[in-house]
Amino acid sequence: MPAISATAPGKLILFGEHAVVHNRPAIAIPFNGVHAKAAVFATPIAPTGRVRIEAQAIGLDQTLDQLAPDHPFAIAIHGVMKTLGITWLPACHIRITSTIPIAAGMGSSAAVSIALSRALAAFLGHPLEDSAVNTIAFQVEQQLHGTPSGVDNTVISFNRPVYFVRSQPIEFLKIREPLDLLVADSGIAAATGPMVAGVSQRFNADPDTYGAYFDQIANLVRQARMDLESGAGNDLGPLMTQNHRLLQKIAVSTPELDRLVETALAAGALGAKLTGGGGGGNIIALAANHQIEKVVTALLAAGARRTWLLNLPRHEEAVS
Report the catalytic residues. Answer: 152
97 strand-pairing partners: 37
Asked if residue 113 binds ligand PMV (CB under 6 A), the reply is no
Among 5, 6, 7, 18, binds ligand PMV (CB under 6 A): 18
Contacts of 182 (CB under 8 A, 6+ apart): 264, 269, 284, 285, 286, 287, 292, 295, 296, 299, 307, 308, 309, 310
Contact 96, 35 (CB under 8 A): no
Smallest gap from Cβ 1 to ligand PMV, in A, equals 35
Contacts of 81 (CB under 8 A, 6+ apart): 87, 89
Query: What values do phi and psi take at 15, rounded to 5?
Result: -150, 145
Contact 24, 174 (CB under 8 A): no
**Of the two residues 31 and 123, which places its CB atom closer to ligand PMV in the complex?**
31
**Of the two residues 15 and 123, which places its CB atom closer to ligand PMV in the complex?**
15
Contact 184, 239 (CB under 8 A): no
Region binding ligand PMV by CB under 6 A among candidate stretches 34-42, 62-70, 100-108, 224-232: 100-108
Site string for ligand PMV, 235-274 (x = CB under 6 A): ----------------------------------------
Other beta carbons within 10 Å of 82? 12
Smallest gap from Cβ 276 to ligand PMV, in A, equals 3
Smallest gap from Cβ 24 to ligand PMV, in A, equals 10
Binding to ligand PMV (CB under 6 A) within 136-175 occurs at: 145, 148-149, 151-152
Among 9, 72, 101, 105, binds ligand PMV (CB under 6 A): 105
HSE (CB half, 13 Å, CA atoms) of 187?
9
Binding site for ligand PMV (CB under 6 A): 13, 17-18, 20-21, 105-107, 145, 148-149, 151-152, 192, 196, 276-277
